[in-house]
Chains A and B, each alone.
Chain A
């Protein structure tokens, strides 16, 4: 019952901004792409982390303490829903918990508390070069990445030319990707992720390294995904881009949800907040 009540709240929150939408209409289960329910993620912060057994043991002898960390919450009671076919933006200052949230949705970080429901295949582009092996070349990495997503060999094989073409890396296909520029790795990562046609695509800042031409290409792909009712969750510091793209924006501050709704309003609020914290 609590869940339903929360859902109601969310819909109401959304209705304030999305004047065009019918507020009374409840989002049905099929319409939901991601549901984050009261999620808390905590990290350990070490003043000086003992990284070896020897060190930990010596410290234990000296001080009699085993625990050497404080926990802090990177995310506190975060709840929201993302509908299918939506571009969902997340903004917030550094350390607000944006990347943590993305990694949680991608299933990499297990939440300490709360529940996460994800309907469909998720693909994420969180860090540059993550999910790749720097020693391998582009083709080998496409195979590696595909196999980690449980794709069959023959399927991957049929997709390789397409991916290389999209990433514009045909000429560098046999170069180990550790020699790639950041733009090249970003292109490869994006091409690989998009090619799998995920139901939910998670994009962190990575696209910022691409040039204008590639960004245009990405926009086209985004549009295609959206036409297929796929969902895009995006984090960016480029507020203008966010305002242009996002249907809805979540504003995070210190791991808490500050605002959720209309992009324009969210951005204004974010500017206000950062302005004030900068002054104080």
Chain B
């Protein structure tokens, strides 16, 4: 009966207990990524920026009726999704690559994906810089609602960790799950309102997209930054609950597989 509450309490307890490891690991990650200081940062921003430019140029004509300042519209949707996708993909090999540690020290193994999820958040925060740049360039009004972005980060982190844990588990047992995950994420990319907005969907479908936590998260982000309005509280709370559920499922799957890892590494 107390199984699931225990999982959650342990999870947050371990974040606290292993805070020193997480801190170090995040710092190491960032250092590795941004090693050539300024250039490192520029490169990592250039990729989404170029991608966005291409998409914006291609789609702004087709989707003209969707939204004005399509680049900003697009960017808002892409940021949360690319955090989700790149973190989950990054977590794919984390258990394997930390096999040497797992073999020697008895640690809760999800701290490895967890540290990636955290360093990803720093990237996520940094990628707001080009977004603001684009907004200034297009003369889009920046509203105080952007201050509420941290409220969206919380459920985003939950969803991402939940999925990342499952993805990490899958890769321990099978080496080729990467291809499968890539396909699923590609599909998910189009199932999320990144290129389009919800009101472009047929009416019957609009009701159901709420089931996809990522869908709402992207909309929240867009609400805050693009539309300069706060998301509906009720929808937000439902989404928070749903995201938490995804994390719980991830933790449960991870726990089930946890004991078998040693035999597969």
Contact = CB atoms under 8 A, between A and B. Distances in A.
A124 B20 CA distance: 21
Interface string A113-145: 000000000101011011111001000100111
A66 interface: no
Contacts of B263: 43-44
A140 B24 CA distance: 9
Nearest to B258: A110
Given A52-B175, A148-B107, A131 B20 contact: no
A107 interface: yes
Most A-side CB within 10 Å, residue of B104, B105, B177, B180: B104
B20 A151 contact: yes
Nearest to B107: A148
B54 interface: no
B264 to A, nearest CB: 9
Given A52-B176, A53-B176, A147-B24, A108 B17 contact: no
A126 B106 CA distance: 12
A45 to B, nearest CB: 10
Given A52-B174, A52-B175, A54-B176, A108 B104 contact: yes
A7 interface: no
A146 to B, nearest CB: 8
Nearest to B17: A150
Contact of B102 (A52, A108, A122): A108
B20 A147 contact: yes
A51 B175 contact: yes
Q: How large is the interface on A (under 10, 10 to 19, 20 to 34, 35 or more residues)?
A: 35 or more
Interface string A204-225: 0000000000000000000000
Given A44-B263, A147-B24, A130 B104 contact: yes
Contacts of B28: 136, 140
B116 to A, nearest CB: 15
Interface string B100-126: 111111110000000000000000000
Contacts of A153: 20, 23
A48 to B, nearest CB: 14
A237 interface: no
A145 B104 CA distance: 10
A106 interface: yes
A59 interface: no
A132 B102 CA distance: 10
Interface in A180-239: none
A96 B205 CA distance: 62
A203 B209 CA distance: 56
B259 interface: yes
Contact of A126 (B18, B24, B103, B180): B103
Most B-side CB within 10 Å, residue of A106, A122, A147: A147
Contact of A107 (B21, B23, B106, B180): B106
A147 B176 contact: no
B100 A129 contact: yes
Interface in B84-111: 100-107
A151 B263 CA distance: 28
Interface in B7-21: 17-18, 20-21
Contacts of B21: 144, 147-148, 150
Contacts of B104: 106, 108, 124, 126-127, 130-131
Contacts of A21: none
Contacts of B20: 146-147, 150-153
A185 to B, nearest CB: 12
B262 interface: yes
A109 interface: yes
A143 B24 contact: yes
Interface string B231-265: 00000000000000000000000000001001100
Interface of B: 17-18, 20-21, 23-24, 28, 100-107, 174-177, 180, 259, 262-263
The 6 closest A-B pairs by CB, nearest first: A107-B106, A130-B104, A147-B21, A52-B176, A131-B104, A53-B174
